[in-house]
A and B are shown apart, each in its own frame.
Chain A
């Protein structure tokens, strides 16, 4: 019973942490660029503002346009039930493994792309086509990178992977693990619309991907989509931190263990957030036609991760 309660608590935690995480990354980035930066909790107010606003929908938009934000949000929310956030093992580990996680994420992307096409604006279509290009190249890499871990642990179940790494700490400096980490990090940047692939902070017409798709949205629909995309960042951060560096996660459901798990989770998020902010400050956006090359690089990394954990068993 406590397990199920914890599942809901975990999903709620992810929901609440997501805007703060984005706010933190934005703040660090601003500081690195010698700006004062908006407060970390600004995204919460952004959500509140958007939920309070009226929705304006184009006459040309169909029911798909209205349904898509809910599907996008719910698919991201469903993933938060399946990933190991603060404790393992959890009852929902048996509901879905890594394949379910990968394809739930893809489901959200797919509906967002459809919604971008639906009102028939030029930007929406452009954004959708770009997003699908990136998604098509990124999705196999995510699956392959986590497969690299799954081969080591002998299970595609995310909870089991974490437990296997906890039981056998030496595997964390395994080349398979590190290559998979690098691959997943690059893909996370691509999938969450971060800098070398997409610039999250501008509406620059020629280069935007994510922003182009959601250009037609307003009010609570926009709030849901934004929240979902922040959740996606949280999900990728969780995968990166907890699958590869699982220490600190609670294996027993005592309050003390959960408290430590929560603290280490926030600490890991801060470290990853700093890393992302530094990467984003250091590098410029890639030209769109170089994006497949970057993702090709991450695919090769993931492939090597799988071969080194599979062939050297």
Chain B
């Protein structure tokens, strides 16, 4: 009973985390992107707690706390600050329109199911149901990075992709060593800060954060 509950909760949590990722494709403003990312991170934190509880691994609680501070408090705060600085940024014309993006996201998740099928078949873990969804989230994050024009939306896409990696790691291993986990978090934070600085530079040089306009550099 405990095992089925665990497996259902982990699949359910992964579905919810994935839905926040797909929800990004539907939203337009940076504020909405930041909100989606924040709530996705909240769900991810809860997921870590659940796995920590059922997998009986207390280090995961520590990881969950760090994750909460970093991805629910710090990064959304900086995202909102960027929004205040640049004004209301909207993704008005992505390379792929919203309706097609959504359908493609569905297909990407199916692709993730196909790719992780061998893994799920050999796996004995009760969390195996969530693995395809985590893989799907990585694809969806990458899709956001590829198809959105505004630099800040791409950053959020990258962060969502990283959430997918974290989810896949915790589902597949019940927690990698805490030191590795912390190193990854630090990398994400550094990456985010570096990208933020870049966006500021892009903004001052081009007076826009639409990376499409960077094509002008070629001429």
Contact = CB atoms under 8 A, between A and B. Distances in A.
Interface string A270-310: 00000000000000000000101110110111011001100
B109 interface: yes
B11 A175 contact: yes
B26 to A, nearest CB: 5
A304 B12 CA distance: 11
A299 B106 contact: yes
Contact of B11 (A292, A300, A312): A312
A178 B106 contact: no
B176 to A, nearest CB: 24
B98 interface: yes
- Is the contact region of chain A dominated by helix, strand, or loop, or is it mixed? helix
B98 A304 contact: no
A170 interface: yes
Contacts, number: 65
B95 to A, nearest CB: 16
Contact of B26 (A182, A293, A304): A293
A92 to B, nearest CB: 33
A308 B109 CA distance: 10
B102 interface: yes
B109 A304 contact: yes
Contact of A296 (B8, B103, B120): B103
Contact of A293 (B4, B12, B99): B99
Interface stretch (B15-23, B37-45, B54-62, B150-158): B15-23
- In this complex, the interface size class of chain B, counting residues with CB under 8 Å from chain A, is 20 to 34
B8 A175 contact: yes
Contact of B22 (A170, A173, A300, A311): A300
Contacts of A292: 99
Interface in B128-172: 129, 132-133
A174 B106 contact: no
A293 B96 CA distance: 13
B47 to A, nearest CB: 13
B15 A175 contact: yes
Given A175-B8, A292-B99, A300 B15 contact: no
B98 to A, nearest CB: 4
B72 interface: no
A304 B129 contact: no
B170 to A, nearest CB: 17
Contacts of B99: 292-293, 296
A178 B12 contact: yes
Nearest to A290: B98
Nearest to A302: B106
A112 interface: no
Nearest to A170: B4
Nearest to A295: B99
A307 B8 contact: no
Given A297-B26, A311-B113, A304 B8 contact: no
Contacts of B102: 293, 296-297, 299-300
B107 to A, nearest CB: 9
Nearest to B104: A300
Nearest to B5: A170
A179 interface: yes
A308 B113 CA distance: 9
A178 B103 contact: no
Contact of A173 (B8, B19, B110, B117): B8
Interface in A153-173: 170, 173
Contacts of B98: 290, 293, 296
Interface string A237-272: 000000000000000000000000000000000000
Contacts of B14: 175
B213 to A, nearest CB: 26
A307 B109 contact: yes
B105 interface: yes
B103 A308 contact: no
Contacts of A311: 113, 117, 132
Nearest to B1: A170
Nearest to B12: A175
A302 to B, nearest CB: 9
24 contacts: A170-B4, A173-B8, A173-B12, A174-B8, A174-B12, A175-B11, A175-B14, A179-B19, A293-B98, A293-B99, A293-B102, A294-B26, A299-B102, A299-B103, A299-B106, A300-B103, A300-B105, A301-B19, A303-B109, A304-B15, A304-B106, A311-B113, A311-B117, A311-B132
